[in-house]
Chain A
C-alpha cells in the first residue's frame, strides 16, 4: 500500500505523515501521530469529542480526511496550554468541576475556545447553542456553562 504524503502544521509544529486515502484526520492524529487527546465517541460527527481546529475552523476530525490538511494548520487540545501554563478555559474547567469523566472535555474546550474567539462576551444561551455540538453525558452541562462564563470574564479582563 502506498500512502499519501502530507505536510501540515499541528499546534505550530511542522509535521509530515503518510496516510491512506480513507483515513480520517482523527485516525491520523491518534494512531499515526500519538495525539490521543481528540477522542472518537461516534465516528459520525454527532458527539464532538474529536473537535479540532483546521485553518481556523472548528471541525469534527472524524469527518475530515487526513489528506485534507495538506498545507494547513491544525490545532488540537495538546496545543491549548502554553508550556506549563494552562489556558484560562482549562483552568476554569478544573476549578468549576466542569468535567467528571473527562472524555468530552478536550472537544468541549476546543469548541469553547473557538466560541470565545468569535464571541468574547456570550450570553448563557449563546454558550449553550455554541456548545450544542458537543455531547457530555456526565455533568448536565451546568458547570460547563459556568466555567465558560467565568473564563470569558477573566479573558476580557486580561
Chain B
C-alpha cells in the first residue's frame, strides 16, 4: 500500500497529551535491566588492558604468563581479531580502535584482554601480560597538531579534499568547504567587521552507565550479545563484520540504556567480548570502569575556530566566514564537516564560506555527542554575532531576527529551507519575560541560537493486534529517554484507541528488520512515521475483516474512532464493530491482524532553537553560576510535551557543563589527567537553576503529524549563550571554553591590566 508521509493538519486526541511512561515502574523500583544487570549461565568476567602511553609502537605482546594463571579462560590480542574488513577503511579504523594492531594511538587504547572466572583473577591476569612498547612522540592539542613540525599520528595521511593532494603527510586528515557567494566582495561592503578566534576543549558525553555487555559465541558461528547501545542493529553489523560472522546469526538485544548522547553509537568493547567468548567457548560479561569510559571511549572534538563576520550599519550581515579545526582523535571522521555545515545555518547570507579541517591527535577517537560539532561552531559564530551587535549598537536579538534564515533561504551548507523555526524562536525570545527581568550585581545576560539537521534513516516496525484488541508495537529504535510513551501515543492516535491499549517494546535484531541507530534525533521522528504507516496497514486489514464479518464490500467500510463503520446504502443500520470485536473474530476471518512497515524516514525537518541565559560571575574567584535559563525550540509537533521539555532541559544542562566546567586535561606526557567524575566535573543539582522551556510547533511538512526530532538542538546554543552572558557580566569577551574559574580570573586580570 502506498504511503504518503506528508503532513496534514488534524485535531489530535492522544498526541500532545502527557501520560505516564510504560517503563516507569521498572525504572523507579530497580527492576529495569541495564547493560550490567544481565547474566548468562557460566559467564566469565572480561577485562581490557589499555596502553599507558599516548603514542607507542607495539613491538611484542607476551600473554603466556596470563594464560597460565588458574581461572583464566581466554586471553586475546589483535591477533585474535583477524582483519575481515576487506578494504573498508572506516571499518578497519573501528577494528584498530577496538584493539590496537601495530601502534597504541592514545592513552587508554586497548591492547589485550582477558576472560577469567572472576574479576580479581581477570585483574591479576592483566598484570601478567607483557607488552613491549617503543614510545613515539605524541601530540594532543588541536593547534599543535596542525603545525608542520608536529609529530605524526599516522605516517601516511595525505589531506583529502585538497587539490592537488599534498605530497607530504600531516595530521590534517581532510579539508572541507561550504558556502556560496563571494565573501571578499561581501566584506568589502561591511561597515563593521568582527574577527576573532575561539577555542573549545574536549568533553565527554558523560552518561552515568559505563559501557557493558554480555557476549556469547558458539562454535557453530552463532552468537548472542546483550548490550547497552543506541543501536543494536548497527552493533550487530559492526560486530559480525569484525568477527567474520554472518550478520543474521548474531542476535543482539539492547538493554535499557543508561544514557548515550551519541557515545553509544560506536562499538568499543563489544567485539572484544565476543572474541573473548569465542576463544573461551563460554559467555563473557564485560563492563567498563569509569576510568576506561573516559580514557577509551566517547569524547567529542576539541576545536579551534576563526570567525569573521561583516555587517552594514543597519545590521545586515554582508559576509561571514569561518575556519574550523576539529580534533578527531586518531581516526578521521566527519566532525569538521559537520562544524563547517552548521556554523552559519541559522542565517540568511548572501556571501558565506566555511572551511573545516579534520585534525588527528593522540587522543581517543572523537565520537558523536548530541548534535556533534554544532555546539562548538555555534559558540564561535554566536559569540561573534553578539560582539557584532555591540559594535553596531544594536540589540543582539534584533540583529539575529534581521538576518535569520526563513523558508526559501539557501542554507550555508547548501539546501534550501522549507518552513523553519529560527525566526519564531527569536521572536519568542524577544517577547519572553526573561528578557526584561532585572539583572543583579555581577550578572550578565546572553542569547544564542542553534541549528541541527535531524536525521531520518532506515526504520522498521511491527504492530500486532492481540485477540483482546490491545496492540503490541515492536520498534527497533532504542528508547533513550521516554520514546516508548511517545510512540504508544502515535499508535493510539492513528488507530483511534486509548494510550492504555498500546504497549511498545524495543525488539531484538532477530525479531525485526534493520533499524538505524537512535541518533540524529531520529528515534521518535522515524519510528512514529513507521508506526503510522504500520497502523494504516493494520486498519486496512481491520476493514477487510469487518467487511467479511458483515459480508459487504470492503469499500463500504471506514475506520473511525477505533471502530469499523459500514457506509453506503443498505448498510446504514449495521452497528459499528470495535477493534476488540474484530480481533476476537480474527481466528475465523483470516488469522492474526497486524500491520508492518519498513521505510527510509526521509524528510526529517531541520530544527532551530534560541536560548536565554543569565549568569553571575564572582570576581574574587572567577566562578560563574547560571542563575536563570530559558530554552525556546521548535518541535514540529510535541508528541509527549513533558519528554520534549526533558530533552530541552537535558541538552541545556549538558551545554552549561561544557561551557563552564567540563574538559579533558592532558599532561605534557600525553596522558589524561582527569578520568573520573571527581575531576571531570559534570553539573550537579546545586549547580543549576530551573530550566524554563517554551515549545514552538511549526509542523514538519514531511511527517504525517508534523513531528521534528527534538533531542539534540538543545545542546547547540548553550556554550555561546553562557559565554555571551559571562562576557557581559565580566565585561570581557570570553573566547575559550570551558570558562572555568581560572580562565575567567585570567580574563578579568588581563582586562584590568589593560
Residues of A within 8 A of B (CB): 20, 22, 30, 35-44, 46-47, 49, 76-78, 80-81, 86, 90, 93-97, 99-106, 109, 124-125, 127-129, 131-145
- Closest chain-A Cβ to B538's Cβ sits at a distance in Å of 29
Known: A36-B33, A44-B678, A97-B21. A141 touches B208 (CB 8 A): no
CA distance A69 to B259 in the complex (A): 31
Tell whether B37 is near chain A: CB-to-CB under 8 Å. Answer: yes
CA distance A49 to B209 in the complex (A): 9
CB-based contact A99/B28 at 8 Å: yes
CB-based contact B685/A132 at 8 Å: yes
Interface residue tally for chain B (C-beta within 8 Å): 54
- CB within 8 A of A44: which of B25, B676, B684, B688? B676
CA distance A37 to B36 in the complex (A): 11
- CB within 8 A of A101: which of B24, B33, B207? B207
Known: A20-B120, A144-B685. A78 touches B25 (CB 8 A): no
The 4 closest A-B pairs by CB, nearest first: A37-B30, A103-B258, A140-B653, A100-B481
CB-based contact A100/B646 at 8 Å: yes
Q: Which residue of A lies closest to B677 (CB)?
A: A46
Q: Mark B18-37, 1 if CB is under 8 A from A, else 0.
A: 00110111011111111011
CA distance A30 to B21 in the complex (A): 26
CA distance A140 to B473 in the complex (A): 30
Tell whether B451 is near chain A: CB-to-CB under 8 Å. Answer: no
Tell whether B234 is near chain A: CB-to-CB under 8 Å. Answer: no
Known: A103-B209, A137-B206. A41 touches B290 (CB 8 A): yes
Set of chain B residues within 8 Å of A35, measured between Cβ atoms: 30
Known: A90-B28, A105-B27. A138 touches B646 (CB 8 A): yes
Known: A42-B676, A47-B208. A94 touches B25 (CB 8 A): yes
- Closest chain-B Cβ to A126's Cβ sits at a distance in Å of 10
- Closest chain-A Cβ to B673's Cβ sits at a distance in Å of 15
CB-based contact A132/B686 at 8 Å: yes
Tell whether B682 is near chain A: CB-to-CB under 8 Å. Answer: yes
- CB within 8 A of A94: which of B21, B480, B649, B683? B21
Known: A103-B209, A137-B208. A81 touches B33 (CB 8 A): no
CB-based contact A101/B30 at 8 Å: no
Tell whether B289 is near chain A: CB-to-CB under 8 Å. Answer: yes
Set of chain A residues within 8 Å of B36, measured between Cβ atoms: 30, 36, 39-40
| 8 A-B contacts (beta carbon < 8 Å) | A35-B30, A40-B287, A78-B29, A100-B643, A101-B207, A103-B207, A104-B258, A131-B684
Dominant secondary structure at the B interface: loop
State the total of A-B contacts with C-beta under 8 angstroms: 176
Q: Mark B213-225, 1 if CB is under 8 A from A, else 0.
A: 0000000000000
Known: A100-B650, A127-B685. A46 touches B690 (CB 8 A): no
Q: By CB atoms of chain B within 10 A, which of A46, A99, A140, A142 has the most?
A: A140
Tell whether B331 is near chain A: CB-to-CB under 8 Å. Answer: no
- Closest chain-A Cβ to B332's Cβ sits at a distance in Å of 28
Known: A36-B30, A42-B677, A46-B676. A97 touches B259 (CB 8 A): no
Known: A43-B289, A44-B677, A137-B259. A97 touches B646 (CB 8 A): yes
Q: Which residue of A lies closest to B657 (CB)?
A: A137
Known: A39-B34, A132-B685. A94 touches B209 (CB 8 A): no
Set of chain A residues within 8 Å of B261, measured between Cβ atoms: 137
Tell whether B493 is near chain A: CB-to-CB under 8 Å. Answer: no
- Closest chain-B Cβ to A39's Cβ sits at a distance in Å of 7
CA distance A131 to B683 in the complex (A): 12
Set of chain B residues within 8 Å of A80, measured between Cβ atoms: 28-29
Q: Which residue of A lies closest to B640 (CB)?
A: A97
Q: Which residue of B lies closest to A144 (CB)?
A: B685
CB-based contact B210/A22 at 8 Å: no
CB-based contact B209/A39 at 8 Å: yes
CA distance A108 to B249 in the complex (A): 40
Tell whether B734 is near chain A: CB-to-CB under 8 Å. Answer: no
Q: Mark B638-673, 1 if CB is under 8 A from A, else 0.
A: 000011011001101110000000000000000000
CB-based contact A139/B646 at 8 Å: yes
Q: Which residue of A lies closest to B647 (CB)?
A: A100
CA distance A125 to B25 in the complex (A): 28
Q: Which residue of A lies closest to B206 (CB)?
A: A137
CA distance A93 to B207 in the complex (A): 20
CB-based contact B289/A106 at 8 Å: no
CB-based contact A81/B29 at 8 Å: yes
CB-based contact A135/B27 at 8 Å: no
- Closest chain-A Cβ to B643's Cβ sits at a distance in Å of 6
Set of chain B residues within 8 Å of A136, measured between Cβ atoms: 208, 685
CA distance A76 to B25 in the complex (A): 16
Q: Which residue of A lies closest to B205 (CB)?
A: A137
CB-based contact A137/B685 at 8 Å: no
In the complex, chain B residues 19-58 whose Cβ is within 8 Å of any chain A Cβ: 20-21, 23-25, 27-34, 36-37
CA distance A144 to B688 in the complex (A): 12
Q: Mark B290-301, 1 if CB is under 8 A from A, else 0.
A: 100000000000
Q: Which residue of B lies closest to A103 (CB)?
A: B258
Set of chain B residues within 8 Å of A40, measured between Cβ atoms: 36, 210, 287
- CB within 8 A of A131: which of B206, B646, B685? B685
- Closest chain-B Cβ to A93's Cβ sits at a distance in Å of 5
Known: A100-B480, A100-B650, A145-B690. A105 touches B28 (CB 8 A): yes
In the complex, chain B residues 571-606 whose Cβ is within 8 Å of any chain A Cβ: none
Set of chain A residues within 8 Å of B289, measured between Cβ atoms: 43
